[in-house]
């Protein structure tokens, strides 16, 4: 009776042990101060992708995912986007390929970039309000069940979970079947395109065009989709109100006296956040920041930039311009 439960617990213990060992190896092995955090982030993204793949094999309440993701933004801003999101991971891999090929990325004009960032709020508002327009909130048990599994009128909410979709799914019906274990190849938003268009003659073509366009855009512009992704709406946008200044608890802090306005933080940001460079000092929590900590990793001034959690410093910039003691 208890054997399946024990097996599951042991499996999770082994998985967590392997993940922790991987983190330890990166922290010890990688000596380059300008890359250690990046390698750590990629590893955590891979572990998260495996965990999300496993979650797709379970009968879960999808609404729980939505609540958890948006609940986390109260405390961590867009940390989920920078360190967990599978779609973000795919874009980071494309950026790595571009770097290996020696191709320079493009920068969006600041006005266009800001417009894209605000577009995500409009898209998210349409998605969140659509169940109301469809008459979903009639407070009957069937509607509540539909909400938990994002069925019926609540189906639009599933778009908010599309970036979490692994490239390989443990069921059929995405882009193409793999022919074993009922697994299939997928891509973020592919199943949404199939659901809403449902025109067999053109749906596949639209999906392939969508994949090609998003990959091409990501190749030219770092984290292109993250700039207007509706899942990436951040509660940090509300911290401009006095009563909500404490949000999010996880944020960047800048020591003005140590900043020389070298501009490195602005150049290395994958979504072109400028507040870290422009703000004189203190807590910095723009709603566009992914909390990827690339600016902290690349800042060459000791303790100039810090990542704080509820006032406690988790990590701070290091002077990587100094010669390393490691031979």
Average pLDDT over residues 152-181: 85
What's the pLDDT score for residue 22? 62
Span 111-158, pLDDT tens digits? 999 999 989 999 999 998 888 887 766 667 778 888 888 888 888 999
Alpha-carbon distance of 213 to 114, in angstroms, equals: 21
Tokens of 244: 């909500």
∠ CA 309-314-316, rounded to 5° = 120
Tokens of 307: 């990542």
Range name among 75-79, 277-281, 317-321 with the lowest pLDDT average? 317-321
- Reduce the DSSP state of residue 272 to 3 states and report it: coil
Spell out the domain ranges in the chain: 1-60, 61-232, 238-316
What's the pLDDT score for residue 26? 61
Alpha-carbon distance of 252 to 77, in angstroms, equals: 11
β 282-284/250-254 pair status:
antiparallel
Average pLDDT over residues 174-183: 79
What's the pLDDT score for residue 317? 93
Span 55-102, pLDDT tens digits? 887 778 888 888 888 888 888 889 999 999 999 999 999 999 999 999
Average pLDDT over residues 149-171: 88
What's the pLDDT score for residue 83? 93
Confidence of residue 220 (pLDDT cuts 50, 70, 90): very high
147-155: long-range contacts, CB 8 A cutoff, minimum separation 24: 147/63, 148/61, 148/62, 148/63, 148/64, 149/61, 149/62, 149/63, 150/62, 150/63, 150/66, 154/63, 155/195
Average pLDDT over residues 5-28: 59
More confident residue, 31 or 187: 187
Alpha helix (H) ranges present in 150-274? 190-197, 200-220, 264-268
Confidence of residue 175 (pLDDT cuts 50, 70, 90): confident
What's the pLDDT score for residue 21? 62
User: Taking the model in full, what pTM does it have?
Assistant: 0.87
* Percentage with pLDDT > 70 across the chain: 83
Query: Which CATH class, in words, describes the domain spanning 238-316?
Result: alpha beta
What's the pLDDT score for residue 234? 79
What's the pLDDT score for residue 249? 87
**Residue 190 Cα distances to 24, 208, 265, angstroms:** 36, 9, 34
What's the pLDDT score for residue 1? 46
Instruction: Please list, in sequence order, all residues whose beta carbon lies within 8 angstroms of the beta carbon of residue 148, skipping any fewer than 6 positions away.
Output: 61, 62, 63, 64
Average model confidence (pLDDT) across the chain = 84
What's the pLDDT score for residue 11? 56
């Amino acid at each position: 009776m208890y054997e399946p439960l024990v097996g599951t617990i042991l499996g999770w213990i082994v998985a967590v042990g392997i993940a922790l060992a991987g983190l330890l190896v990166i922290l010890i092995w990688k000596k380059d101060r300008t890359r250690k955090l990046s390698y750590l982030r990629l590893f955590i993204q891979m572990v998260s992708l495996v965990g999300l793949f496993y979650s797709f094999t379970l009968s879960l309440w999808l609404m729980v995912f939505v609540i958890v993701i948006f609940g986390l933004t109260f405390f961590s801003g867009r940390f989920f986007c920078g360190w967990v999101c599978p779609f973000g991971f795919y874009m980071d891999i494309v950026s790595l390929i571009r770097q290996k090929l020696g191709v320079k990325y493009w920068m969006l004009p600041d006005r266009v970039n800001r417009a894209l960032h605000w577009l995500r709020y409009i898209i998210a508002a349409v998605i969140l309000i659509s169940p109301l327009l469809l008459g979903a909130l009639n407070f009957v048990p069937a509607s509540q069940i539909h909400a938990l599994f994002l069925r019926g009128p609540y189906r639009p909410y599933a778009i908010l979970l599309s970036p979490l979709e692994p490239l390989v799914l443990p069921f059929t019906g995405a882009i193409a079947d793999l022919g074993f274990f009922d697994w299939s190849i997928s891509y973020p938003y592919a199943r949404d395109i199939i659901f809403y268009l449902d025109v067999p003659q053109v749906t596949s073509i639209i999906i392939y065009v969508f994949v090609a366009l998003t990959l091409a855009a990501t190749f030219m512009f770092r984290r292109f989709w993250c700039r207007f992704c509706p899942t990436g709406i951040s509660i940090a946008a509300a911290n401009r109100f006095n009563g909500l200044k404490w949000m999010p608890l996880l944020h960047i802090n800048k020591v003005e006296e140590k900043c020389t306005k070298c501009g490195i933080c602005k150049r290395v940001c994958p979504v072109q956040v400028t507040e870290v460079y422009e703000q004189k000092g203190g807590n910095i929590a723009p709603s566009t920041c992914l909390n990827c900590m690339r600016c902290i990793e690349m800042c060459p001034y000791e303790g100039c930039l810090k990542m704080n959690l509820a006032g406690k410093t988790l990590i701070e910039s290091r002077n990587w311009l100094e010669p390393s003691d490691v031979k």
